[in-house]
């Protein structure tokens, strides 16, 4: 069985995933065509960089609204952005006024035109020229992001809006990431435990420890740890992709690797290679027969209770849409 294994010893973000996929051999032209089909006014900038001695591929999403370094204050958390950072910002119909007051003056919103509702993002993804399995993964990732934030803030999921710049960046990361993962042609995705980092993020009501609330909500049931690095290493987009791909979790599996990719994070961390590694190849027959059941069982235990079948409503009726999995704790 052909598998892809993510090693998240430095966490995972949307741009790290894209970099690792390209480094492992996914066509850059495929991702550029995918992004063009989204018609969101964005393009990819791909470069080769060094992260603590590791040659890796760096991907930036360039938008019509350049990401300036600015602090955003809202109910999720507050942090300083660099041009390559891909955090998503959320608001709801009820908090737009407070959101405007919390922004840097250069980002004042006089109306809702700078926000994209989840319904609009669904429409963009459905209209894009992407393979159906990749579309399903991308829709599921955004549904998960929306549900995580809605639960944190106790608002309906359809009231969640994505800030314009963050929405463009994250649509690009998630849809191109889903298409790139589909292009690997693997039967399953496996993942190491995730290094979430450390330190704190500043929220409207004070400081929260890393991982941020929405990120942790997305990672319920997933093996996590912190190496002590005082940076946020797993972003909401990265967490959503790990869940949407329905990864199993295990140590490095017995496999014959034929492709390796390193995706660069946006900054160099002293003494710590800030990269995501992906290994692609054939799972050994002995691993499938002996150890495979370990990660398969864990995958089912984490995911089956949390997701509805694609295209069904809460009663199980087919409605032609991909529904978000619940983010309630698994009960055994």
Other CB atoms within a 10 A radius of the CB of residue 31 amount to 23
Count of other CB atoms within 10 angstroms of residue 16:
36
Which residues lie below 8 Å from residue 303, measured CB to CB, with a gap of 6+? 243, 246, 325
Residue-wise pLDDT for 224-279, tens only, equals 999 999 999 999 999 999 999 999 999 999 999 999 999 999 999 988 999 999 99
Q: Is 280 helix (H, G, I), strand (E, B) or coil?
A: strand
Residue 202's nearest CA partner among 311, 104, 74 is 74
Q: Tell me the whole-structure pTM to 2 decimals.
A: 0.78
pLDDT recorded at residue 190: 97
Q: How many CB atoms lie within 10 A of CB 233?
A: 29
In a domain, 194, yes or no: yes
Domain count, the chain: 1
* Tokens matching residue 112: 């809702």
Contact 102, 202 (CB under 8 A): no
Q: The domain containing residue 179 runs over which residues? A: 15-306
pLDDT of residue 65: 56
| Residues of the chain below pLDDT 70 | 65-114, 164-165, 203-205, 289-332
Q: Are 17 and 32 in contact (CB under 8 A)?
A: no
Q: How far apart are CA 170 and CA 71, in angstroms?
A: 18
Specify if 244 maps to a domain: yes
Count of positions (residues) in the chain? 332
User: Is residue 108 in a domain?
Assistant: yes
Return the residue matching tokens 């039967």. Answer: 187
Q: Flag whether 7 is in a domain.
A: no
Residue 19 lies in a domain: yes
Burial class from Cβ neighbours inside 10 Å (0-12, 13-18, 19+) for residue 326 reads: middle
Tell me the pLDDT tens digit for each residue of 274-293: 999 999 999 998 777 655 54
CA 300 to chain centre: 20
Q: How far apart are CA 297 and CA 311, in angstroms?
A: 25
For Cα atoms 177, 179, 181, give the angle at the middle one, nearest 5 degrees. Answer: 65
Q: At what angle do helices 14-23 and 164-183 cross, to 10 degrees?
A: 30
What gap in Å lies between CA 300 and CA 246, rounded to an integer?
Answer: 9
Q: Is residue 1 part of a domain?
A: no
Tell whether 215 is covered by a domain. yes
Residue 283 in 3-state DSSP? strand
> 263 forms bridges with which residues in the sheet?
57, 276
Please report whether residue 325 resides in a domain.
no
Please state whether 25 falls in left (phi above 0), alpha (psi between -120 and 50) or beta: left
Give the integer Cα–Cα distance in Å for 266 and 306.
32
Phi then psi for residue 213, to 5 deg, are: -55, -50
Instruction: Work out whether the CA dihedral 90, 92, 97, 98 comes out positive or negative.
Output: negative
């Amino acid at each position: 069985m052909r598998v892809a294994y993510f090693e998240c010893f430095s966490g995972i973000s949307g741009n790290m995933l894209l970099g690792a996929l390209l480094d492992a051999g996914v066509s850059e032209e495929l991702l550029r065509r995918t992004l063009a089909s989204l018609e969101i006014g964005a393009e990819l900038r791909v470069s080769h960089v060094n992260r603590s001695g590791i040659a890796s591929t760096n991907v930036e999403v360039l938008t019509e609204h350049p990401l300036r370094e600015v602090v955003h204050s809202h109910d999720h958390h507050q942090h300083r952005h660099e041009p390559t950072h891909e955090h998503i910002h959320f608001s709801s119909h009820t908090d737009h006024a407070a959101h405007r007051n919390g922004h840097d003056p250069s980002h004042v919103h006089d109306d809702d035109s700078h926000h994209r509702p989840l319904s609009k993002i669904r429409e963009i993804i459905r209209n894009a020229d992407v393979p159906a399995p990749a579309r399903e993964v991308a829709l599921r990732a955004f549904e998960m992001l929306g549900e995580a934030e809605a639960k944190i803030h106790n608002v309906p999921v359809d009231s969640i809006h994505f800030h314009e710049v963050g929405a463009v960046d994250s649509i690009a990361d998630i849809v191109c990431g889903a298409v790139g993962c589909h292009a690997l042609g693997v039967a399953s995705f496996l993942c190491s435990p995730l290094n979430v980092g450390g330190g704190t993020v500043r929220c409207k009501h004070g400081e929260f420890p890393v991982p941020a609330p929405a990120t942790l909500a997305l990672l319920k049931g997933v093996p996590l740890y912190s190496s002590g690095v005082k940076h946020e290493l797993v972003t909401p987009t990265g967490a959503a992709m790990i869940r949407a791909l329905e990864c199993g979790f295990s140590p490095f599996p017995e496999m014959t690797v034929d492709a390796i990719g390193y995706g660069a994070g946006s900054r160099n961390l002293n003494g710590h290679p800030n990269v995501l590694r992906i290994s692609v190849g054939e799972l050994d027959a002995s691993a499938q027969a002996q150890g495979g059941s370990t990660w398969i069982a864990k995958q089912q235990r984490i995911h089956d209770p949390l997701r509805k079948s694609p295209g069904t409503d809460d009663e199980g009726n087919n409605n032609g849409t991909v529904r978000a999995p619940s983010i309630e704790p698994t009960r055994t």
